[in-house]
Each structure stands twice: as C-alpha cells, then as structure tokens.
Structure 1
Amino acid sequence: MLITSLIFGPLFLAWDTFAVFLCSTGATLLLGHSVGFHRRLIHRSFACSLWLERLLIWIGTCVGMSGPFWMVRTHDLRDWAQRQPDCHDYLAHRGGMLRDYVWQLHCRLILTNPPGFDLGVMGKDSFYRLLEQTWMLQQLPIAALLFAAGGWGWVIWGVCVRVATSVTGHWFIGHLAHTRGPQSWAVVDAGVQAHDIPWAAIPTMGEAWHNNHHAYPGSAKIGIHPGQSDLGYAFINLLERVGLAWNVILPQHLDRAEKIRRL
C-alpha cells in the first residue's frame, strides 16, 4: 500500500481524489477504529445492538491494520506490559523513532511464554472469525465501488493512500503518546506512562488524549478536560441520544482514585 501510494499517488492527485481520501480516512478511523475497535470491542465502554457492533467492527477492519482478534490481543498484551514496572522496549516504544518504526511495522514480537487469551463470545462469532481470516480482502469491495465511481485515482487515494496513512499514522501517534508530550495523570507503579498529543486530537478522533486514556481506560470519553476535542465520544453521544447506544461509561463511573495521581 505504501509503495503504491508513493509511486501512483502523485500521478492521480486531484481535488476529487484527495476529497475521497479525507472522507474515507475520517469515516473509517472514527466509526471503525476509534468507536468500533477501541471503545466498543476492546474496552466495552458502551453497549449497543449486535448488528451495529458488527457494522462498526467491519469498518474498523477496513482501516487496514488487522482483524478484530489480532487487535484485541495486541492491545491487551501491550496494555498489560505497560502496567508492569519493567516493560520490554518493543511494547514501551523505546529505542528511538527509527528502530520503533521498523519494529512496530515490519517485525513480529515472539514471546517464549506467550499469554493465553480468552476472547469469550466474540471468539465464537462466525462473522468476526471471517473478518479475522479475510481482513486484507475487505479492501476489494471498497476498491470495486471506488473504481466504478471514479476510476483508478479514487482507488489509489481511497484505498492505498488511506491504508498506508492510517497504519503509519497509528504507529506514529502511538510512539509519541508513549514517549513525549503533556501529562495530567500518572498511573501508579506503571513502567510506561502515557502522554497527550494535542495537535492530533481531531485526526485521531480524540484518541490522542492518551494520557487521559491510561488514567481512565474504560471510559467512552477520552477528551475529559475542557477544550479537548473528542469526536469519538461525540459520535457515541449521538448514538445514545437516538437510542442506539446505552450504558455509556464515563470517568466518574470508574473507581480509579488509588490507581492514578494527578500531576
């Protein structure tokens, strides 16, 4: 995706192809990655009907990082490791930006004693199992629709550039969020502390307030301080208003007094 984007992206750059890139990237990151994968599937920070959850998870799979099972396993492993006093450099994003880029996007972490994962009901869901097995192929129907609507330029910018930007951007924000930036909270005894990336709040749909997320990981609202943009929570709030989401968890619903301290 990255090589195709670098070679053919400039050749097909136009106002319409760039608009397709912005709209498709924003939609998949908001509905799929932020709301579907992170706040619903991983943290269960709100409840919704199964049909809506499946739709959001399919959109999240179309972001292009991986299937739902891999996302849950990777997140939970990293989350557990970062709470330990001694976290491996790979899981802590240490060692410099260049090495972290190579490690995170081009290498695989192989553990001598890997943890077991109980995916529960999700692991038995035939739809999620299909997505896990075919996550790369989910780009094909999108590419077909884009080709029919706008030709190869829409495919290049609506699939290749979108996926390359989303995957690389996810690593880049993750690297910054664990190495530098402002902090409001510290997690007691955690080996890795999180940071906020204010300039990335809008393109990440609120996920860039990562210091808040480490403090209140189960909260559907990540931008918890005044002036902190959180489009992911805004969408969940909209779902709640129209009756499509309920049991929305907020920071005040979580007992974190002994686990965090204010900086």
Structure 2
Amino acid sequence: MTTTNQAAHAPLSPAAQPQPTYAGSEPFPTTPAPVELQPRAGQVAITAVIVAFPFLALVLAVVVLWGQLIGPVDIALAVALYTVTGLGITVGFHRCLTHHSFTPAPSLKVVLALAGSMAFQGDVISWVATHRRHHAFTDRPGDPHSPFRYGTTLRGQLRGLAHAHVGWLFTSDTTPAAKYAPDLAADRAMRAVSAAFPALCVMSLAVPFGLGWAIGGTLRSAIAALLWAGLIRVAVLHHVTWSVNSLCHMIGERPFRTRRHDRATNLWPLAVPSFGESWHNAHHADPTCARHGVDRGQIDLSAVVIRLLQRAGLATDVRWANPTRLEGRRK
C-alpha cells in the first residue's frame, strides 16, 4: 500500500472524527479528557475554597450573627464593594473585554480589569476566553456551562442546572486562551492583571478589613466588615453571576430570536443585582450591544455606567442598540 493510500485508510484522530449531529434534547457527547488536562488536586482545592468559603460565611452570618455583628458601616461597605467589583465583571470583563461593546481609554481598561478580578471569579484572560466559548457554542456541545448538558428530561435538567451554576468549575473542560482570547493574551497589561489575580483576591478582602478597622477603631469592627463587605459580598456576587449561567437559560422570557439551540432568557428579578446582565435573551440576540435591557422599563445599570463613561470621554465607539436590527430579531 502506498503512503497516500495508507494515509487515506488510517484511523481518524478523535478531533477529526465526524461529530454526531446535536438535535437539541439529548445529553452532550462526552470524551475523556487527556491526563494533562485533568485538574490538579491543588487547583480543585483552591476552587472549592473560593466557591464554598464565602457561602459558608453567609450561612454563618444569617444563622448566628444577624443583629449582633452588623451595622450601617458594614452594609455601606458591602454595597460599595459589591458595586465596584460587580461592575468590574459586567462592564469590564463582559461588555468591554469579551464583546468589545465599547473602546475604553487604556487606563480605564486596566481599572475595569482590576475591579473585575477582585470579584473572585477567575483571572481576566481565562474569564473572557470561557465566556467567548460559551457564546460560540451556546447550549450545544462545546458550551462549558450549559444547563442542557445532560439532556432535557427533568433529571437531566436538574443535574444540568447544578452543572451550569457551579459544577462546571470543577471539570477538566479547560478553555484555551490562545484560541478564544488571543487579543488579551497578547496584551501586556492584561497579562499583568491576570498574573496578579491571587494578590487581587487578597486585596478584595483586605480592603474591607482595613476600612472596618479605620472607621470602627476595633478588631471587632474590622472582622465585621471583612465578613459582610468581604466574604458575604463575594458569595452573593458569585451566585448572582452564576445564576445568569444557569437560571437565565432555563427560566424567563425569550422575546428575541437567537441561534439554534440557544435558550437564553430574560429574567427580570435578577436585573438589579446583576447590573442588567439578566436581560440575557436580548444579549444573546445582539452580543456586542452595550445595553442588554433594550426594552422600555428594563433596568440596566451597566449601560448607565457605560453612558456616563462615554460622556466623560473614557469610552468611545459604543455599540448602542439598533432599533431596526432589534425589531428584526423580535419574535
């Protein structure tokens, strides 16, 4: 047999094998991850701490400490840091860096990346790469956190909901930054912010601790601020963000047409805590639009911030909603 014929009859590699057609209701096909892509025990442990510890702090505070270790200063600090880090995710990581909804001034780009990193949701380059991959394969094989991963039966959807909310963080399904975020990987400033992620997480907790001590003057006040404006603030923002991944693909309205298999929804109860991210169906219908709450009465605080940045000259080339294009996608 000639070399050409040998090549023609050689078995295809897994990547080159014809992929089965996805119909939209069956579980996603799975293949074992190579050993080198399996998460290391240390990585799993760190993820578990980041995910679980803030939530355990929330449970402890509600059950044991409510009314005993909280005051107006703690609430004010929690709201302020929730807003700063939350907008770092929504305006910075998501609308600016992932979708290029606007062009930021160089200094603003770094500030947004720093603020988003302090939300404990991963380094900026990995976050952007994962989210771009989510849009490339929304609710079909390849989506890293679709709630339909295990099919559309009741059991499959419940299992998928848990996977989309938090389970995907513990899988070996890594997203290569070189493929999905080459622009950020080539950006020296973004590489520096990405490398500083652990230190920024420490700072995210040190800031409320230090402010609590400076304002209250006691270790008790510092610990209270750390608990409420640090750990509990992180836990709440975690679950609001993850709810966009999970609930906003299963519950809510779908006024706009999206790509085949894309089940993104608008879920109004999350609009304020998510800073407008829960108008998810509109976002998936027009991903680069700077405003997600495109209909009358839909609160989108991230879009308000982008408008203010635009007026201040810090954001240019803002991609606001095009009414004609939106109406063409409305059901």
Displacement after TM superposition at 1:16 (Å)? 2.4
Task: Provide Cα deviations, 1:47-102, integer angstroms capped at 9, x if missing partner.
Answer: 1211111101110111111111111111111111117xx43686321333465335
Taking the aligned partners of 1:61 and 1:254, their CA distance within structure 2 comes to: 36
Partner of 1:72: 128
- Relative CO higher for 1 or 2, CA cutoff 8 Å, sep ≥ 6? 1
Is the CA contact (8 Å cut-off) linking 1:97 and 1:175 kept in structure 2?
no
Structure 2 residue matching 1:137: 3-state secondary structure: helix
Matched, 1:52 2:120: no
* Equivalent residues of 1:201, 1:229 under 8 A apart: yes
CA contact (8 A) 2:258 2:285 kept: yes
Farther-moved stretch of structure 1 (91-100 vs 18-27) = 91-100
The answer (yes or no) to whether the contact 2:117–2:197 under 8 Å persists in 1 is yes
Query: TM-score w.r.t. structure 2 length?
Result: 0.69
Runs of 4+ more than 6 Å apart: 112-115, 253-257
> Which letter maps to 1:33?
I
Query: 1:218, CA displacement in angstroms?
Result: 0.6
Aligned to 1:143: 205
Q: How does 1:27-176 map to 2 (within 5 A)?
A: 27-30=84-87, 32-82=88-138, 86-87=140-141, 91-94=145-148, 95-97=156-158, 100-102=161-163, 104-107=165-168, 108-111=170-173, 117=179, 119-150=181-212, 151-176=222-247
Counterpart position of 1:227: 297
Displacement, 1:187? 1.5
Query: 2:73: which partner in 1?
Result: 16
Structure-2 residue corresponding to 1:236: 306
Bigger CA drift: 112-121 or 99-108?
A: 112-121
Q: Give the Cα–Cα distance (whole angstroms) in 2 for the partners of residues 129 and 38 of structure 1.
A: 17
Deviation at 1:15, TM superposition (A): 3.0
Correspondence for 1:187: 258
SS of 2:257's equivalent in the other structure is strand
Task: List gaps (5 residues or longer) in structure 1.
Answer: none
Write the letter of the residue equivalent to 1:184.
P
8 Å Cα contact 1:81/1:91 also seen in 2: no
- Say if 2:248 is the partner of 1:177: yes
CA 1:244–1:76 in 2, change beyond 3 Å: closer, same or farther? same
Q: Is the 8 Å Cα contact of residues 119 and 204 (structure 2) preserved in structure 1?
A: no
Q: Distance in 2 between matches of 1:135 and 1:165?
A: 20
Structure 2 unaligned runs (5+)?
Answer: 1-53, 149-155, 213-221
Q: Is the 8 A contact 1:101 1:171 kept in 2?
A: no
Once superposed, what is the RMSD of the aligned Cα atoms? 2.7
Candidates 265, 273, 280, aligned match of 1:203: 273
What is the number of equivalent residue pairs in this alignment? 257
Q: Deviations over 1:203-231 (max 9, x none)?
A: 11111111100111010011111111111
Cα 1:181–1:160 change in 2 (3 A) is same
Structure 1 pair 69–90 and aligned structure 2 pair: CA distance change class (3 A): closer
**Cα 1:121–1:213, aligned 2, differ >3 Å: closer, same or farther?**
closer
Question: Which amino acid counterpart does residue 243 of structure 1 have in structure 2?
Answer: G
Instruction: State the one-letter code of the partner of 1:166.
Output: L
